[in-house]
Amino acid sequence: MNVLIVEDQKDLALEIDEFLTKEGFLTEHARRKASAEEKIFVNSYDFILLDLGLPDGDGIDILKSLKDIPGREDAVIILTARDAVEDRVKGLENGADDYLPKPFALSELLARMHAITRRKHNIKTNKIDLHGFILDIENRTVSFQNQRLNLTNKEFEILYYLTLNKNRVIPRTSLTEHVWGDILEINSDSNFLNVHLKNLRKKLSVYSNADWLETVRSIGFRINL
């Protein structure tokens, strides 16, 4: 899952970046309002971690502009030193999913991100039963009858993102963007996504039939549940 960190404090941004990278997230960083808006215009994100007090403007304006983009589903968590109730209310009313005042524990940030993901996709726990395969969101593992599959990070991310969007056809470009990040830096003619899907199916098929992981020709991919 890809995350945009909008934070002008370099040390804090680096700390969040390193922590989330170790947890398997793909991260980008913007220190100013203008650069954040430029990135948001080009790419969509699973999460935007948004500081309100930016050098060139208010983070609330980013929230407002995000709401004006049709079809955007980026989850936004406000990270700010502002502790006034009216600032929290303003952020939530303008589309933020959660509010975390500084200073905060990185473990709490991660827990809130997991909670938002579960709520957004109507998932009750951190473990998802996928035709007998158990996908553990928190520990980023997949197992079948207590045997853990040896998946790469990208294979897990592909399976995880398609599972979150079960029974929906996910276009190739959307899957690529959420797993690899900036789609402008990726060769659209590359066969790398097909290779990853082929390897993922092969690993799943060792344990059970994986026909539920479907390729929809000329469009994308779908997990049928």
* pLDDT tens digit sequence for 118-139: 898 888 888 999 999 999 988 8
Are 101 and 174 found together in one domain?
no
* Structure tokens, 68: 């004006």
Are 91 and 165 found together in one domain?
no
Please give the model's pTM, rounded to 2 decimal places. 0.84
Edge-first strand listing for the sheet containing 170-171: 170-171, 220-223, 213-216
Phi-psi region of 51 (alpha: psi -120 to 50; beta: other; left: phi over 0): beta
pLDDT for residue 125: 85
Are 82 and 192 found together in one domain?
no
Are 150 and 103 found together in one domain?
no
Whole-number mean pLDDT of the chain? 89
Domain count for the chain: 2
Q: Which of 146, 137, 145, 167 is nearest to 46 (CA)?
A: 137
Are 178 and 195 found together in one domain?
yes
CATH of residue 30's domain is 3.40.50.2300
pLDDT for residue 185: 53
Are 115 and 140 found together in one domain?
no
Q: Which domain holds residue 159?
A: 127-223
Are 99 and 159 found together in one domain?
no
CA dist., res. 25 & res. 27, Å (int): 6
Are 89 and 134 found together in one domain?
no
At position 222, the amino acid (one-letter code) is: R
Q: What is the Cα Rg of the chain in Å?
A: 18
β 53-54/2-6 pair status: unpaired
* pLDDT tens digit sequence for 169-207: 999 888 888 888 765 555 545 578 889 999 999 999 999
Are 135 and 212 found together in one domain?
yes
